[in-house]
Structure 1
Amino acid sequence: MKSWIITGGVACGKSLVTELLATHLLKDRSRVFSSDGTVQELLDTPEITTQLVRHFGESAVVHQQGRILASREVLRAEVFADPERRKILEQILHPRVLKSLEQAREAQAEMGVNLFLAEVPLHYEIGSTVSADLIIVVASSPEVQKRRMMDRRGLDESMIEKMLRAQWPIEAKVERADVVIWNDGDRSALEAQVLTLVRQHWQA
């Protein structure tokens, strides 16, 4: 089984590229692992919400219909305002995400899957600790990243700048990539690059 990592900057289109790859590559025999999706699931587990309260206080969670859930808005404000707070959250989440990734990869290999696609936004920031046969960086210019975050997520410029500073510069990720997909244009331009990637790097 081949393993490919899709990484890159915030609001660069990593999820869309992953989706396109899964569609064009052995649709019935490729599987996707989403680090962000796993984080969202973990944040609402009792184990994690207990730790959030311990480290960030009661404001880090909300009570809804008898459940205790993480407050994404509060956590975002906390961790992007203070690198030390962000490190605490990462220490809580990252080991669990990486464990889930490796468990998923092992399970898919046993099932005879041909291609394991792992979306790992912070691949370089966590020391490139996830092994793979191909590292794909999805990149956009900072101007495009900011516009997307404003339009799609409703974030203000101050928060956007903090989020961008929390990640490696996109240029540094591009330099280390096996393949770079630029996503400053429209969907058709993106799809053309994904198809080229498939033709050049996939052999059934």
Structure 2
Amino acid sequence: MTSWIITGGIGCGKSSVTELLAKHLLKNGFEVFSADRSAQTLMDEPAVLGELKRQLGEDAVVSKDGKDVANREWLRSEVFADVVKRQILEKILHPGVLQDLEKSREAHLNGGANLFLAEVPLHYEIGGTVSADLIIVVAASPEVQKRRLMERRGLDESIIEQMLRAQWPIEAKVERGDVVIWNDGDRSALEAQVLTLARQHWQA
């Protein structure tokens, strides 16, 4: 089975590229692995909530409808502004995310899939520890990244700047990628690049 990783900068369109690749290449109904979805699920598990409280303080967890959940708004504002807190959060979440990824890859393999797609935004930040046959970097200019984050997530500029600084510079990711998709244009331009990638790098 072939494994591809989709990575890149925040607001660059990784999920759109993943969606298009799945649409054109996955014929058997297998879902794509998403590191972000895995992290969001793990964040509300009791063991993780306990670690959040222990290592980041009581404010990291809130009660909703009588149930403890991660205080995502607080975490976003605090973690992106403090490199030490960000590293703590990553150490809490990343082992579980990587475990989920390998379980998903094994399930795809056992299910007879020929291609495993994994969207891993922080692939390089965590040391490139996920093995893959092809690393696809989705990139865009900082101006486009900021505009998308403002329009689609309603974030203010100060938070966006912190989020961008928390990741590797997009240029560093572009230098290391096997394939680069530049996503400053519209959806049709993006799909054209994805189709070209599929023709050049995949034979079912």
For Structure 1 versus Structure 2, the TM-score category normalised by the shorter chain is over 0.9
What do residues 45-64 of structure 1 show as CA deviations (whole Å, max 9, x unaligned)?
11111111112222111211
Q: Give, as a single letter, the amino acid of the residue that structure 2 aligns with 1:172.
A: A
Larger displacement relative to structure 2 (105-114 or 29-38): 29-38
Which residue matches 2:83?
83
Which residue matches 2:21?
21
Q: Give, as a single letter, the amino acid of the residue that structure 2 aligns with 1:54.
A: R
User: In structure 2, what is the Cα distance between the partners aligned to 1:29 and 1:201?
Assistant: 20
Larger displacement relative to structure 2 (33-42 or 154-163): 154-163
How many pairs does the alignment contain? Answer: 204
Structure 1 residue 108 displacement after superposition: 1.1
Which residue matches 2:45?
45
Which residue matches 1:130?
130
Counterparts of residues 192-203 of structure 1 (less than 5 Å) = 192-203=192-203
Which runs of 4 or more aligned residues in structure 1 lie more than 4 Å from their structure 2 counterparts after TM superposition?
none
- Structure 1: gaps of 5 or more residues: none
* Percent of pairs with identical residues: 72
Which residue matches 1:105?
105
* TM-score for the superposition, normalised by structure 1: 0.97
Q: Is the 8 A contact 1:4 1:133 kept in 2?
A: yes
What do residues 128-161 of structure 1 show as CA deviations (whole Å, max 9, x unaligned)?
1000000000000000000111111111111111
1:34 aligns with 2:34: yes
1:114 aligns with 2:114: yes
SS at match of 2:155: coil
1:64 aligns with 2:64: yes
User: In structure 1, what is the Cα distance between the partners aligned to 2:26 and 2:148?
Assistant: 30
Q: Give, as a single letter, the amino acid of the residue that structure 1 aligns with 2:90.
A: E
SS at match of 1:44: coil
User: In structure 1, what is the Cα distance between the partners aligned to 2:145 and 2:98?
Assistant: 26
Structure 1 residue 100 displacement after superposition: 0.7
Structure 1 residue 29 displacement after superposition: 5.5
SS at match of 1:117: strand
Which residue matches 1:144?
144
Structure 1 residue 87 displacement after superposition: 0.4
Structure 1 residue 66 displacement after superposition: 2.0
- Give me the CA root mean square deviation: 1.0
Q: Is the 8 A contact 1:30 1:114 kept in 2?
A: no
SS at match of 1:122: coil
- Structure 2: gaps of 5 or more residues: none
Larger displacement relative to structure 2 (49-58 or 79-88): 49-58
